[in-house]
Amino acid sequence: MPLLGAHESVAGGLHLAFDHIRNVGGDALQIFTRNQRQWKPKPVTEEEQNLFAAAWQEVPSMPIASHASYLINLASGKAELVEKSIAAFADELKRCEVLHIPLVIIHPGSHGGDGVKEGLARFSKNLDKSLELADNQVTVLLETTAGQGTGLGSRFEELSAIIKSSKHPEKLGVCIDTCHIFAAGYDIRSEKSYQTTMAEFDRLVGIERIKFFHLNDSKKGLECRVDRHEHIGQGAIGLSGFANLLNDPRFAKHPMTLETPKGNDLQEDRDNLQTLRSLLKKQTTKSAR
């Protein structure tokens, strides 16, 4: 079955995210390796590395991904912003290397009014620069987006274009966000529409590129192009859409994390994970006897 978990806080120490995810009964984890609102955070210390490694060793099979800073915009046409973004993303890749986190998720950025084609070309070029600066084996996952404003990545064609134009396609994968693809116009609510959406992704990008999922319901309707996360089953996608995904055998071992609203006691994570697990169909096998 899929590995269900959540994005958890690292307040007080990176290693504390493991306490939070175990507290809610999660099997997959997403974190920010540093404050996502800072351009030049401090490097990861040796003590942080050791504490993180020790905490991970208690749940060694747990998949972990980092989410890159929201400040980064590799598709920008502004030279200063691009320079800062390239450096910041390279630093993120380096932090993940020292922490042994294999996956980094990034939004494809915003073209700022210059057009999709221009924005995609800039993103690919600047992403390559970051990868070459970091010079490591961390895999970058392009996150699907809702398509708000001048944001890139809401169409599968755009993700395909980035991968095809990159000099390092072997280092690239995709993170599917359920709220985002729904807001962008890809329906997953019925079995038929779900299969159509996944067939379209496979045709344009390749199902094998999907390495991670964000499980979020949507406060707004299909093709609203508005990114507003809702608790599982309480939004416009509904339980059937998540059941379609969770029971797709192609993703039976994939990490899937919540990014839904929550308070300090994390009860919402527990409730959402319980809801998701209730949608998993029991796998029946014939008895050998």
Q: Catalytic residues, which ones?
A: 37, 67, 70, 107, 143, 177, 180, 214, 227, 229, 259
Structure tokens at 168: 């390092």
Cα dist from 136 to 96, 140, 234, whole Å: 10, 11, 41
CB 63 within 8 A of CB 39: no
Burial class (CB in 10 A: 0-12, 13-18, 19+), 149: exposed
- DSSP state at residue 177: E
- Where do runs of H (alpha helix) occur along the chain? 16-23, 46-57, 79-99, 116-134, 156-165, 178-183, 191-204, 238-246, 267-278
Interacting residues of 18 by C-beta distance below 8 A, sequence separation 6+: 29, 55, 56, 58, 59, 62
